[in-house]
Amino acid sequence: MSVLAAVASPHPPLMVPAVGRGEERKIADVAGALRRAMAEAAALQPETLVLLSPHSLCYSDCFHISPGKGACGDFSRFGAPQVRLEAAYDDILAAEIEKQAGELAVPVDRSAEKDPALDHGSLIPLLAYAETGADYRLVRIGLSGLDALSHYRLGQAIALAAAALGRRVAVIASGDLSHRLKEDGPYGYHPAGPAFDRQVMQALRQADFLSLLQISPQCMEQAGQCGLGSLWIMAGALDGCRVESGHFAYQGPFGVGYGTAFYRNAGEDRQRCFGSQYAAAQKQAVAARRQGEDPCVSWARKCVEAYVRNGEVLAADSRLPAEMLQKKAAVFVSLKKSGCLRGCIGTLTPQRNCLAAEICHNGIAAATEDPRFAPVSETELADIVYSVDILGPIEAVDSPDQLDVKRYGVIVSDGYRQGVLLPDLPGVDTVAEQIAIARQKAGISPAKPIRLSRFEVVRRQ
């Protein structure tokens, strides 16, 4: 029982009186619950705090563990440089977490940071813990763009590392909830914001960590949250454990949701191995989807699997439908894993001699050449689902009024810069959002004039 406890902590800088200047009183319930949770964690005498922060260094394809002997940070950027904190790192535990994560196929990086200072997502919970007067060493870990199960397995690696070293550990999951609770909040209002916060807090109160894993990527995106990845890792650190919980609080007066929770490890409970339960459900969902696969999608999957496993590029043959052998068309092939995008590459005009060849080439490229992701590994193939979008003709349009986010994909252009977004994507609800994302993909600033084009697709799944 080396992971003794876990705390879910918000991290609003205005919780610090020198920053809040009285505004901190509006979240006094959450701040009080956090202090009580930290006091209960400190009473268990952990030697090391493993702190998970979305504002530490974050990569799309791996988790970063801060290297070195220690770090310090302050609130200079929030107008309170006098509020500062130093922490010594537990580099031995950090190395063991990296080792255990590797054995679970979870990528971890411990290279030097450009800015090693403690971020505010780390400072807020550490200041609350410092009020207890307890000594500790620290391991600081950033989140990643990887899926829920990868985060959960990193939590399992933390528990395995603590057990291997006999280290008494408390895990602190730093993160705020939705940033879209109010029109005058930092990101405006979206109905998914309050819904997301209700779902998360219900799961925390019930210690239902499986429900945390099952929150959809679309809901996460629409809610504009930052803390769910920390909670996934925290849940993994308590995998297979019975927990005693408390110190729940939630407030959102500034348009951002702040929630707290405390869990004490109360011994083994094999019914609470939520990672394996979630993985099994995901595999069943993938298997069910593949039973009804469209021939274009089945072909994309077979091409990717042959290339990733053997470096083989499959040739189209007469067993494929006539449409795929005789028709030429531009195609986008998308790969998803656990509901999260894992790669997407396409063409706007046909580049190959038939649809089958276009799908094969773009599917392999989506799996191996999308610059946003590491190449798909053989161990991931069983978990990936595919979709194929076959493009119709491209038409120039004069105004966003001629677009429809559900019907048309969009192309934004400025000279040689060009951004493309497919239609009817989860979490993209308006033409304005569609254009903004396409601008971002192309590196075109919001103020720059652009040319707009549209296209329809036939989506095969």
Separation of alpha carbons 268 and 95, rounded Å: 26
Q: Is residue 202 part of a domain?
A: yes
Domain shared by 271 and 325, yes or no? no
pLDDT value of position 61: 86
Domain shared by 318 and 226, yes or no? no
Q: Enter the tokens of residue 354.
A: 């038939």
Domain shared by 37 and 179, yes or no? yes
Q: Is residue 287 part of a domain?
A: no
Asked if residue 461 lies in contact with residue 294, where contact means CB atoms within 8 angstroms, the answer is yes
Percent of the chain exceeding pLDDT 90 equals 86
Domain shared by 140 and 104, yes or no? yes
Domain shared by 92 and 34, yes or no? yes
Separation of alpha carbons 333 and 423, rounded Å: 13
Domain shared by 140 and 270, yes or no? yes
Q: Is residue 207 part of a domain?
A: yes
Residue 404 has pLDDT above 90, yes or no: yes
Q: Is residue 285 part of a domain?
A: no
Separation of alpha carbons 409 and 414, rounded Å: 17
Q: Is residue 284 part of a domain?
A: no
Is the whole model's pTM more than 0.75, yes or no? yes
Residue 20 has pLDDT above 90, yes or no: yes
The CA dihedral of 444, 445, 450, 453, to the nearest 10 degrees, is 50
Domain shared by 351 and 400, yes or no? no
| CATH number reported for the structural domain that contains residue 305 in this entry | 3.30.700.20
- Say how many C-beta atoms besides its own lie within 10 A of residue 60's C-beta: 11
Average the pLDDT over 217-229 and give the result: 92
Average the pLDDT over 445-449 and give the result: 89
Q: Is residue 282 part of a domain?
A: no
Residue 194 has pLDDT above 70, yes or no: yes
Average the pLDDT over 29-48 and give the result: 98
pLDDT value of position 186: 83
- 40 vs 145: which has the higher pLDDT: 40
Strand ranges, E, within 347-414 = 384-391, 395-397, 408-414
Domain shared by 140 and 38, yes or no? yes
Q: Is residue 286 part of a domain?
A: no
Range of the domain at 451: 392-461
At which of 242, 277, 312 does a domain end? 277
At which of 354, 371, 386 does a domain end? 386
Choice among 173-177, 276-280, 340-344 with the minimum mean pLDDT: 340-344
pLDDT band at residue 1 using 50, 70 and 90 as cut-offs: low
CA 239, 241, 245 angle in degrees (round to 5)? Answer: 110
Domain shared by 61 and 11, yes or no? yes
Average the pLDDT over 301-312 and give the result: 96
Q: Is residue 283 part of a domain?
A: no
Domain shared by 221 and 92, yes or no? yes
| CATH number reported for the structural domain that contains residue 438 in this entry | 3.30.1490.150
CA 69, 73, 79 angle in degrees (round to 5)? Answer: 175
SS3 content of the chain, % helix, strand, coil (to 5): 40, 25, 35
| CATH number reported for the structural domain that contains residue 52 in this entry | 3.40.830.10
Q: How many domains does the chain have?
A: 3
Domain shared by 315 and 359, yes or no? yes
DSSP-assigned beta bridge partners for residue 404: none
pLDDT value of position 427: 78
At which of 227, 243, 277 does a domain end? 277
Domain shared by 375 and 452, yes or no? no
